[in-house]
Amino acid sequence: MKDYYQTLEIDRNATDVDIKKAYRRLALKYHPDRNPGDKAAEDKFKEINEAYTCLSDSEKKSNYDQFGSAEGAGAGFGGFGDFGSNFGDIFEDVFGNIFGDFSGRRRARPAKGQDLRYDLEINLRDAVFGTEKKIRIPRWEDCSTCNGTGSKLGKDPTVCPTCQGTGQTKLQQGFFTIARTCGTCGGEGRVITDPCAGCRGQGKVRKERTVSLKIPAGVDTGIRLKVTGEGEPGSHGGPRGDLYVVIHVEPHPFFKRKDNDLLCEVPISFVQAALGSEIEAPTIDGKSTIRIPAGTPSGKVFHLRGKGVPKLGGYGKGDQFVSVFVDVPKKLTPRQKELLREFAEISGDEVSKGFMDKIKEFIHSQKEQTN
C-alpha cells in the first residue's frame, strides 16, 4: 500500500495548509519541465500528484485515513480527474505564463514600460546655482495613423489561426497538458493581416520628445534626476516607464570642486607678498576682497566662508579656498634688475645666507651622529 503522507514527506496530523505547501515544494522539484528526459522524476511527479489528489480532498482523505487504502476514494482519484484544478491552483502563481491561464485564455497583464537614460553635460555655474534645460528624448510613441493598433485604418486584426484566439498553444506531456504562449500572435490572440503603412504593423513609431528638466542647485557628476512617466510606453494599458537623467559637470578652467567646496589659485606679485596688499579674488558669483598680510609666502591659503556650492537637498553652502602663489616675472627691465640688485645688497642676501646656515647645521649634526 502506498503511504501518501510519506510521499509528500509530511506527518499524518498535517493540516490542509501543510499538505498544500508540501505538494507545491515537491511538485516544483520533480516537475518534468525542470527535469527533461528524467523518467524517475516524471514517475515521482505522478506519485506526488496522486497523493495530493487524495489528501487535499476531505472525503477522500477520510476514507484513506480510515480504511488505510485508496479504495472508495472516488472514480476520479485513480485517473487523476482532479489534477487539472489542483495543477492550476498550485502552479499558476509560480509558473505564470509558462503554463498560461487554465481557463484556456492567456491573461495579458498591464506592464510598465522600460526606463530611459539620458546623459546631460552642464557647466559648473549651472551645477552650483541650478537651471532649467530642455532636452530632446528619442522614444516610442503610439502611431497616430492607426491609433496604436498596428492595423490599416478601418481594418481590424483577425483571430490567430494557430491558437484560435486563445493566445496559447497546448503541449501534451504524458498525462497532462501544458499551455504556452502562442508564438504566432505573441499571446494576443489576434494577428495583423493588413498592417498600417505608418508603423508597419508595430503600432508604435520612433519620435523625439522635448522634456523640460529642472536641475537643482548643488548637483554634481553622477547625480541621477528622475522624470516620472517620460520613458517608453507600457503594454496592455500599463504606465510609461521613467526617464533618468545622469548629470556630468564639465571641468572649469579656474575652479576645482571638492564635495561642496571650491578651490582656486590666484597669483600675487613679489611686492604684494612682501609688503602686503588687498586683492580681488574671483568667486563663482562675482568677486571677493582678500587682505594679503605682509610677508605672505607662496602657497598660503585663504578661507572664504559660504562661497562654495549649495548642499543638494539641504541647507547651507560649502566654502571657497583661495591659494596664492608668488608670480615671478620672467622678463625684467634694466631698471627693475638694478633695483633688485640694490635690494639684494641692502638685505645682504638674507635668504641665501639663511638657507646656507641651515645646510651647515644639518651637515654638522650628521657628523656628530656618525661619531
CATH number at residue 275: 2.60.260.20
- In the listed set 139, 169, 191, which residue is the last one of a domain according to the structure? 191
Average pLDDT in the 232-242 region?
A: 87
Could you tell me the end-to-end alpha-carbon distance of the chain, in angstroms, rounded to an integer? 102
Q: Is residue 278 part of a domain?
A: yes
d(CA 118, CA 224) in angstroms, rounded, equals 9
DSSP conformational letter for 128: H
- Give the pLDDT confidence of 165-213 residue by residue, as tens digits: 888 887 766 556 677 888 777 777 788 888 888 888 888 889 999 999 9
Question: 362 pLDDT band (50/70/90 cuts)?
Answer: low
Q: For the segment 296-336, what is each residue's pLDDT rounded down to a tens digit?
A: 999 999 999 999 999 988 789 999 999 999 988 888 889 88
**Based on the domain organization, do 302 and 322 belong to the same domain?**
yes
74 domain-assigned: yes
pLDDT digits (tens, 9 = 90+) for 36-88: 888 888 889 888 888 888 888 887 887 777 766 554 433 333 333 344 444 44
Task: Assess whether 274 and 365 both reside in one domain.
Answer: no
Question: Average of pLDDT values for 16-29?
Answer: 86
| Interatomic CA distance for residues 230 and 207, integer angstroms | 13
Which one, of 109, 148, 137, 112, lies nearest residue 240 by Cα?
112
Residues of the chain with pLDDT > 70, as a percent, come to 80
Region 100-118: mean pLDDT is 69
Do 179 and 304 share a structural domain?
Answer: no
Grid coordinates belonging to 171? 503541449
Residue 204 phi, psi dihedral angles, 5° rounding? -140, 150
Mark whether 271 and 169 lie in a shared domain.
no
pLDDT band per the 50, 70, 90 thresholds, residue 368: low
Domain-embedded: residue 256:
no
Mean pLDDT of 268-273: 90
Question: What SS3 class is residue 292?
Answer: strand
Range of the domain at 61: 4-98
Asked if the model's pLDDT at residue 258 lies above 90, the reply is yes
- Alpha-helix runs per DSSP H in 96-207: 124-129
Per-residue pLDDT at 348 exceeds 80: no
Residue of 331, 308, 326, 328 whose CA lies nearest to 266: 326
For residue 339, pLDDT over 90 is answered with: no
Least confident of 91-100, 177-186, 247-256, 270-279: 91-100
- At 279-296, the pLDDT tens digits run 999 999 999 999 999 999
Residue 164 has pLDDT above 90, yes or no: no
Asked whether residue 41 falls in the same domain as residue 94, the answer is: yes
Tens of pLDDT, residues 123-134: 999 999 999 999
Q: Read off the pTM.
A: 0.59
| Number of domain units in the chain | 5
* Whether residues 113 and 231 fall in one domain: yes
| pLDDT higher than 60, residue 122 | yes
Strand 116-122 and strand 224-227: the pairing is unpaired
Judge if 172 and 297 occupy the same domain. Answer: no
Which one-letter DSSP state was computed for residue 195? B
In terms of domains, do 217 and 318 share one?
A: no
Q: Which residues have C-beta within 8 Å of that of residue 207, sequence separation ≥ 6?
A: 138, 139, 140, 141
Does residue 244 share a domain with residue 135? yes
Mean pLDDT, rounded, of the chain: 81
- With cell 483577425, the residue in question is 158
The answer to whether residue 104 sits within a structural domain is no
Integer-rounded Cα radius of gyration of the chain: 40
Residue 257 lies in a domain: no
Do 214 and 133 fall into the same domain?
A: yes
Predicted confidence at residue 174, as pLDDT, reads 55
Output the pLDDT for position 126: 96
Distance of alpha carbon 3 from alpha carbon 80, whole angstroms: 17
- The CATH number covering residue 62 comes to 1.10.287.110
CA distance 221 to 251: 10
Look at residue 359 and tell me whether its pLDDT is greater than 60: no
pLDDT at 369 over 90: no
- 86 and 179 both lie in a single domain: no
**Three-point CA angle 240, 241, 246, nearest 5°:** 140
The angle subtended at Cα 102 by Cα 101 and Cα 105, nearest 5°, is 50
Averaged pLDDT, 361-370: 61
Residue 74, pLDDT score? 36
Same-domain check for residues 94 and 36 = yes
> Is the separation of the CB atoms in 249 and 123 below 8 Å?
yes
pLDDT recorded at residue 320: 96
Position 259 in a domain: no
170 Cα distance to chain centroid: 37
Please check whether residue 182 is in contact with residue 163, taking contact to mean a CB–CB distance below 8 angstroms: yes
Copy the grid coordinates of residue 55: 489528501
Is position 258 within any domain?
Answer: no
Mean pLDDT of 330-345: 84
Is the pLDDT confidence value at 268 over 70?
yes
